Amino acid sequence: AQSVTQLDSQVPVFEEAPVELRCNYSSSVSVYLFWYVQYPNQGLQLLLKYLSGSTLVKGINGFEAEFNKSQTSFHLRKPSVHISDTAEYFCAVSGPPATTFGRGTSLIVHP
Amino acid sequence: DAGVIQSPRHEVTEMGQEVTLRCKPISGHDYLFWYRQTMMRGLELLIYFNNNVPIDDSGMPEDRFSAKMPNASFSTLKIQPSEPRDSAVYFCASSPGLTYNEQFFGPGTRLTVL
């Protein structure tokens, strides 16, 4: 069985400040990790993914995440956020049988 | 590519009525997923198909829910009879694989049962 825990349900931040959204996972098999973003009234879309190789993964819109096997974490970061980054962010772990999504973190960027 | 297409985008119905949600996956994707999203429970996987065959329906809440995939380009999720607690956003997603492939989500159907 696999599970994902997103430690913060809501993260408020001011525009141009850095942000980190935290994600911890558990899995008994090989780990494939994803971050998805959901803008209001839209479906989820992929931000980035870790399959293997370098533990630092770069995604779209300036986001990056670091895979830490010893801490079973896959935190998402951005050095400077924009108003348009306001959205719901989902961490996910994929492995048999299917993908498990976290509960989501609402990123709220204030001007 | 048009992406995953869902219809209708919004559905308002009365308790007891039958509701049918529709999905057209991305061509060439072998996997199709149905999810339900609510504030209380987050994103829940209801059922998924591989090559039109239902593989895991353990997330379907009860017998009132059923899903079919008659061909590679069409799937339906049916609720009969509908209840107010079924109110949620229902997403369809498709993927070329099960594990290390990303899922492509449709825009969702917002269902309100009065």
Hey, is the C-beta of B98 within 8 angstroms of any chain A C-beta? yes
**Would you state the pLDDT for residue A10?**
97
A30-44 pLDDT, tens per residue?
789 999 999 998 999
Percentage of chain A surpassing pLDDT 70? 98
**Which pair of tokens denotes residue B52?**
């039109």
Residue pair A7/A104 in contact by the 8 Å Cβ criterion:
no
The confidence band for B1, taking pLDDT boundaries of 50, 70 and 90, is: low
Compute the mean pLDDT over every residue in chain B, rounded to the nearest whole number.
94
Highest mean pLDDT, choosing among A69-73, A94-98, B95-99: A69-73
Burial class of residue B110, CB neighbours in 10 A (0-12, 13-18, 19+): middle
d(CA B32, CA B93): 6
CA distance to partner chain B, nearest, from residue A88 (Å): 11
**Would you state the pLDDT for residue A19?**
98
Q: Which residues of B touch A44 (CB under 8 A)?
A: 43, 91, 93, 103, 105
Mutate to test the interface with A, among B103, B104, B109 (most CBs of A within 10 A): B103
- Is the torsion defined by CA of A41, A42, A46, A48 positive or negative? negative
Per-residue pLDDT averaged across A87-93, rounded?
Answer: 96
CA distance to partner chain B, nearest, from residue A70 (Å): 21
B88-103 pLDDT, tens per residue?
999 999 999 887 789 9
